Amino acid sequence: MVFQKSACIEPMYRELPFLDRFQAARRDGFDFVEFWSWTDKDLDAVKAAAESAGVGISGFNGDAELSLIDPEQKEAYLAFLRRSVEAAKNVGARSVTIHSNGLGEGGVVIDHYERLSGTVKLCAMFDTLKECARIAEASGIQMNLEPLNVTTDHAGNFLRTTRMAAEMTRLIGSPGLRVLYDVYHMQLNEGSLCDNIRAYGDQFGHVHVADAPGRHEPGTGEINFRKVFSCLEDAGYRGLIGFELIPETTTENAARAIQAY
């Protein structure tokens, strides 16, 4: 099958003003766009730019600098998440992405929570995720829980495996809570991409793509993306493929490489 494609227009199209990136993504064959933060953007302008370009908005981050694994941040986390859901509804976005740890500038993990045991972190995350699922079901905005690599970009992040994320979502059992499977992050953390897709693909709500190492477009690293996409199809995944990558040279060249797959 041909998956619908989403371009993450924070690292892609950086040569253009932000609002011009929607039209550029549509020109390059993307059906949707996504971005990282929403609080620093004019949401009315974002909605207008997407509508003018004829692209959908697949989502953005919903938790900013707050952490699922900190029991003391539960109420603040959920309050901000509700604001993110309202922002998503206002611009017509499908989903928000959530993480175990709060992320700062450049995706740096703000607090490694070394003072908390793994048990406390796990239980706090499970407890708050149940509330996230209720918000998702009530609002119609999907929550996508994303494990991150700890080798290169997000040292200290707690949620780092496909298995842990998928077992969480399976236990909670909500159609509004799914896993964001990032091929780049998981290649760095655990490898065995196709084995994990086969085991947990039923829990995927969104897929991110970048090659590894380097986080550039497919074909620049070691990942066999034709095999990965085939495994996703065989696993029954029918969602979007989000290209969250840093072009090796230009976005134009990266878009051309994406089309080849």
Confidence (pLDDT) at 1: 62
Distance CA 206, CA 181 (A): 6
pLDDT score recorded for residue 128: 98
pLDDT, residue 242, reads 98
What pLDDT, on a 0 to 100 scale, did the predictor assign at position 107?
A: 94
Query: How many other CB atoms are there within 10 angstroms of residue 5's CB atom?
Result: 22
The whole-number pLDDT of residue 261 equals 79
CB 89 within 8 A of CB 142: no
pTM of the model: 0.97
Let me know the angle formed at the C-alpha of 40 by 126 and 133, rounded to the nearest 5 degrees: 20
Reading the chain (261 residues) residue by residue, the pLDDT tens digits are 679 999 999 999 999 999 999 999 999 999 999 999 999 999 999 999 999 999 999 999 999 899 999 999 999 999 999 999 999 999 999 999 999 999 999 999 999 999 999 999 999 999 999 999 999 999 999 999 999 999 999 999 999 999 999 999 999 999 999 999 999 999 999 999 999 999 999 999 999 999 999 999 999 999 999 999 999 999 999 999 999 999 999 999 999 999 887
pLDDT at position 82? 98
